[in-house]
Structure 1
Amino acid sequence: MGVHYAAGLMRAADGPWECREALVHGDRRWTYGQLARTVRGVAAVLRSSPGARDGVAVLADNRPEVVAVQLATHLLGYQLALLAPGATNAEREELLRHSRAGALVFAPGHAAAARALAATAGIGELLSLGPAPSCRDLAAEAAARPAEPGPLPAAPVERVRTLLCTGGTTGLPKAVVHTHGLYDALTVLVGRHGLAVPGERRLVCTPMSHISGHFALPTLLSGGTVVLHDGFDPGAVLETVAVERVNALVLTSPLMYQLLDHPALPVTDHSSLRCLGYGAAPTPLRRQQQALARLGPVLQHIYGLTEAGVVTLLQPGEHHADRPHSLAGAGRPVPGVRVEVRDEGGQRLPAGRAGEVWVRGPGVMAGYLGHPATTAEVIRDGWLRTGDIGSLDASGTLFLKARKNEVIMHASGMRIYPRVVEEVLLSHPSVRTAAVFGVPDGGDGERVHATVTPHPDAPVDPAALRAHVRAELGLDHMVPESVDVVARLPVTRNGKVDRQALKDRAASDGR
């Protein structure tokens, strides 16, 4: 039987780390001792809730109590479902319908949504993280519980189940089922070659209900401090980095661009920053070089999935601004993870050949809740088919090219990877950001379409952009046949470029 991650954290919180700062949220500062006491109180309240035994769902922004609820729920062996605050009601209902949770824990700011969800999903008990009408105040009851002597008993690790929502932009996201294997995988990512170093100070400004929020766990598991923001605001992030002496944070690439472009960056003291994790979308070479110039050698590329946790890391020491090839890599697999590139028949491909990325490791999901057929399609003999296209070099470094469903099947019969065209567009002085995708050509194939945003005071000439791509690539089929200019690219709630929204826009414009 493995070691329960939450039990190990509680032992340290009760012992050598008791007086260390664990969590910061606004003007609230929790020590590890306070976190441990809150976990005990929350566990006592949840034990008294018959509905919680069927599963606990959480709808809240980033706050210390969410960490306590997660730890308590896992220690009790109850199923935990994390609902994204930015999700639609339909998406939340989909997760709750399959999870069959009996208790919903919510922050007071989400009271109306929580009551509506409880009514439609048949949840019997509402527990608030603060005063709310006609609900048990979980936070108040937990604080009022007398301290229980001795360690809090932990359920067997086999009973740990966490439900996270995928961040897809087509159809309703699915609930991913994770076991304790995810936490085993995160536990080993401590140290110079992992996600966290002991005692670091990490800022979390992406939702804790998303897999990137879980990437903060190695910080807590190694005695560091996690500073919580309820959402992403580049100015607030920069101020917090300076004031709290933040060492690490993780952002999607589009959010990193907002940070790089913020006017406060040149006058902000970010000397404490050791590691800025980025990923979740292709990152243009120009932006990587810009980040290295403005922030220093702190970039850490993270390739991970909701379905698999962290897969590969490209560490700060492996980012070289003068060696573009080094910046194109997604890094090598983290400990315990295997990566293979396979063809459409599932056969392993040699180094240098592009195909679908397959992943195996302790962090791979158990499956999609309520979708057994889809689970069987993506998990084969313990290997997860990621849906990403990439290749491995002789050293085992992974190079990602595109999502499988984003490859443009051109009418000429050629396959086009959007990132290749995007890189060329971004090299034009008038283009700030770009997204390339395929639109129907009226037959069986697709044609290339681009949506770009301009640099300030640099008007975009679509004809000039098309000529630029033709001159750089020398291939007519890779030249966008149509170009849209917008003020900002839409992003999903997880900070990725919302390509489906762009495709819908193009379709409505008759592209």
Structure 2
Amino acid sequence: MGTQYAAELMRAADGPWERREALVHGGRRWTYGELARTVRGIEAVLRSAPGARDGVAVLADNRPEVIAVQLAAHLLGYQLALLAPSATDAEQAELLRHSRPGALVFAPGHAAPAKALAAAAGIGELLSLGPAPSCRDLVAEAAARPGEYGLPAAPADRVRTLLCTGGTTGLPKGVVHTHGLYDALAALVGDHGLAQPGERRLVATPLSHVSGHFALPTLLSGGTLVLHDGFAPGAVVAAIAAERINALVLTSPLMYQLLDHPALATTDHSTLRCLGYGATPTPLRRQRQALARLGPVLQHIYGLTEAGVVTLLQPGEHRADRPEVLAGAGRPVPGMRVEVRDDEGRRLPAGQVGEVWMRGPSVMAGYLGHPLATAAAIRDGWLRTGDIGTLDASGALVLRARKNEVIMHASGARIYPRVVEEALLSHPAVAAAAVLGVPDGGDGERVHATVVPRPGHLLDAAALRAHVLAELGRQIMVPESVDSVARLPVTRTGKVDRKALRDMLDPGGH
């Protein structure tokens, strides 16, 4: 394995990129030189904290110091666990229970939950990213320490990062990533990747999620990251103009909020070159809307916490007159192999529907503390995604559904929710839709739809069912029941929360 990514970045930050702008957050602007000095100071503090050698956990919103802590921990070869601030206490405690870090770094705004987590997990070192009562101030201590330049970085095979899945059933699992994730991300620079050299990228989704790691190619290629504490559509629209933003990544539901914001029409977004979207199926209507309002900037990203970036559909491939292409997820990124297989694990030919399997350097090492789940997910180096899809003759991937979301109709037919959702979304009164299978009292399931009406429209269930029948031509695909909500529930990672939808239908879980 070659030189580790953090060491390469520090060499450039200390040298040719020293005066370039690296990070922007609020009123703060860091050059690469300032980033390097902060990383070296944090590295010195962590080296002096014996507990940190057992691993470093981070609980913080988006801020430059989070990136500095990540780089410092990896330079030292210390395991890094990123806790999502939006996760529940139980989810955060679950990751700490399995990872057993010796140090917890937190933002002052998270002092109370951080102290409770540290006490419950037996973590001895509490380090705050700013002043906090009864805790060491990591930022102040790092500024007072010059660091030790020239010390060799830990080997690349010592780099270990833990991310949480965004599962909607049970407690999310900790995903173990090695340096392969960073090798893969570093390669995604250029016309066929995630980033362009020297770009300015806005980050409004959490750095603690795998999508936050998708910003690393920008930093690794000498660009600038503009960090927002969270997503607010008005602030994002304003920042695109004020900070001359070239790129950003949003989940599809967040992209809809951006498209619907009234300021978008009157704000200069001419610098925007790439708007990455994904995490959940995106209606054709919304893709065409984005192309009309923003131009040819869309980039579909199919990625997983367990595998990083898998496929990309690039801006030049997004054409409003090619719905069959817009329905796809693009082609595998360099180094990633994708196959579609049947239930027995046999590879299927182009055009046939099956489970998506993948293999590449960014595939996880496993689920921390869950050997059975790891063995079920990874076979001979291949990750079983649980996604259902097809590959065409050119190798482009089309996703149909999650395996556990396919509706098993009483007739024996398999119904893919996305097909029915697209039909519903083509109705002028529907703003959003989610389709799932519910027990029909026998051996199969019936189709149920939950829809969000557009402002000023009332939904007529009978009219919607007639519309779906006219669109799809098959009675078994028509929702037998329809209900209306003000908005669809979503998980903390921005995906439609189908478990919550089921709970709404059957609060008692019967």
- TM-score, normalisation: structure 2: 0.99
Correspondence for 1:115: 115
Q: For the structure 1 residues 460 and 133, does the alpha-carbon distance in structure 2 shift closer, same or farther, using more than 3 Å as the test?
A: same
Correspondence for 1:385: 384
Q: Tell me the distance in 1 between the aligned counterparts of 2:147 and 2:94.
A: 38
Shift in Å at residue 151 of structure 1?
A: 2.9
8 Å CA contact 1:11, 1:151 repeated in 2: no
Shift in Å at residue 442 of structure 1?
A: 2.0
Shift in Å at residue 444 of structure 1?
A: 2.3
Q: Which moved more, 1:199-208 or 1:470-479?
A: 470-479
Counterpart residue identity of residue 455, structure 1: R
Secondary structure of the structure 1 residue equivalent to 2:265: helix
8 Å CA contact 2:164, 2:174 repeated in 1: yes
Correspondence for 2:100: 100
Correspondence for 1:207: 206
User: What are the residue-to-residue correspondences of 1:334-413 with 2, within 5 Å?
Assistant: 334-413=333-412
User: What are the residue-to-residue correspondences of 1:489-500 with 2, within 5 Å?
Assistant: 489-500=488-499
Q: Which moved more, 1:455-464 or 1:94-103?
A: 455-464
Q: Percent identity?
A: 82
Correspondence for 1:151: 150
Q: Tell me the distance in 1 between the aligned counterparts of 2:441 and 2:203.
A: 45
Correspondence for 2:465: 466
Correspondence for 2:253: 254
Q: Which moved more, 1:139-148 or 1:333-342?
A: 139-148
Secondary structure of the structure 1 residue equivalent to 2:384: strand
Unaligned runs of 5+ in 1: none
- The yes-or-no answer on 1:278 pairing with 2:277 is yes
- The yes-or-no answer on 1:138 pairing with 2:138 is yes
8 Å CA contact 1:126, 1:136 repeated in 2: yes
Shift in Å at residue 35 of structure 1?
A: 0.3
Correspondence for 1:2: 2
Shift in Å at residue 510 of structure 1?
A: 9.4
CA deviations 1:462-493 (Å, max 9, x no partner) are 11111111122121111111111111111111
Q: Tell me the distance in 2 between the aligned counterparts of 1:323 and 1:396.
A: 17
Correspondence for 2:69: 69
Counterpart residue identity of residue 337, structure 2: R
8 Å CA contact 2:43, 2:147 repeated in 1: no
Q: Tell me the distance in 2 between the aligned counterparts of 1:71 and 1:265.
A: 35
Counterpart residue identity of residue 173, structure 1: P
Q: Which moved more, 1:474-483 or 1:422-431?
A: 474-483
Correspondence for 1:218: 217
Secondary structure of the structure 2 residue equivalent to 1:132: coil
Counterpart residue identity of residue 288, structure 1: Q
Q: Tell me the distance in 2 between the aligned counterparts of 1:417 and 1:152.
A: 55
Shift in Å at residue 153 of structure 1?
A: 2.1
- The yes-or-no answer on 1:429 pairing with 2:432 is no
CA deviations 1:108-152 (Å, max 9, x no partner) are 00000001101111111110000001100001100111253x434
Secondary structure of the structure 1 residue equivalent to 2:275: strand
Q: Tell me the distance in 2 between the aligned counterparts of 1:146 and 1:308.
A: 37
8 Å CA contact 1:206, 1:251 repeated in 2: yes
Q: Which moved more, 1:483-492 or 1:303-312?
A: 483-492
Correspondence for 2:319: 320
Shift in Å at residue 506 of structure 1?
A: 1.1
Shift in Å at residue 435 of structure 1?
A: 0.6
8 Å CA contact 1:191, 1:197 repeated in 2: yes
Shift in Å at residue 430 of structure 1?
A: 0.4
Secondary structure of the structure 2 residue equivalent to 1:326: helix
Secondary structure of the structure 2 residue equivalent to 1:336: coil
8 Å CA contact 2:44, 2:147 repeated in 1: no
Q: Tell me the distance in 2 between the aligned counterparts of 1:147 and 1:347.
A: 54
Q: Which moved more, 1:310-319 or 1:479-488?
A: 479-488
Correspondence for 1:48: 48
Shift in Å at residue 245 of structure 1?
A: 0.5
Secondary structure of the structure 1 residue equivalent to 2:296: coil
8 Å CA contact 1:277, 1:300 repeated in 2: yes
Correspondence for 2:299: 300
Counterpart residue identity of residue 79, structure 1: Q
- TM-score, normalisation: structure 1: 0.99
Q: Tell me the distance in 2 between the aligned counterparts of 1:253 and 1:201.
A: 21
Correspondence for 2:79: 79
The alignment of Structure 1 onto Structure 2 pairs a total of residues equal to 510
Shift in Å at residue 509 of structure 1?
A: 9.0
Q: Tell me the distance in 1 between the aligned counterparts of 2:79 and 2:504.
A: 39
CA deviations 1:376-413 (Å, max 9, x no partner) are 01101100000000100010000000010111111221
Secondary structure of the structure 2 residue equivalent to 1:487: coil
CA deviations 1:279-330 (Å, max 9, x no partner) are 1111111111111001100000000000000000000000110111110110
8 Å CA contact 2:503, 2:509 repeated in 1: no
Q: Tell me the distance in 1 between the aligned counterparts of 2:407 and 2:125.
A: 48
Counterpart residue identity of residue 376, structure 2: E
Secondary structure of the structure 2 residue equivalent to 1:19: coil
Secondary structure of the structure 2 residue equivalent to 1:118: helix
Secondary structure of the structure 2 residue equivalent to 1:339: strand
Q: Tell me the distance in 1 between the aligned counterparts of 2:306 and 2:456.
A: 42
8 Å CA contact 1:23, 1:29 repeated in 2: yes
Q: Tell me the distance in 2 between the aligned counterparts of 1:281 and 1:77.
A: 34
Q: Tell me the distance in 2 between the aligned counterparts of 1:152 and 1:106.
A: 26
Secondary structure of the structure 2 residue equivalent to 1:82: strand
Root mean square deviation, CA, Å: 1.1
Hey, which bits of structure 1, 4+ residues long, moved more than 3 A?
A: none
8 Å CA contact 1:87, 1:493 repeated in 2: yes
Q: Tell me the distance in 2 between the aligned counterparts of 1:178 and 1:429.
A: 44
Secondary structure of the structure 1 residue equivalent to 2:123: coil
Shift in Å at residue 508 of structure 1?
A: 2.6
Counterpart residue identity of residue 414, structure 1: A
8 Å CA contact 1:40, 1:152 repeated in 2: no
Counterpart residue identity of residue 265, structure 2: P
Q: Tell me the distance in 1 between the aligned counterparts of 2:425 and 2:145.
A: 58
Secondary structure of the structure 2 residue equivalent to 1:264: helix
User: What are the residue-to-residue correspondences of 1:429-468 with 2, within 5 Å?
Assistant: 429-468=428-467
Shift in Å at residue 171 of structure 1?
A: 0.6
Q: Tell me the distance in 1 between the aligned counterparts of 2:144 and 2:114.
A: 24
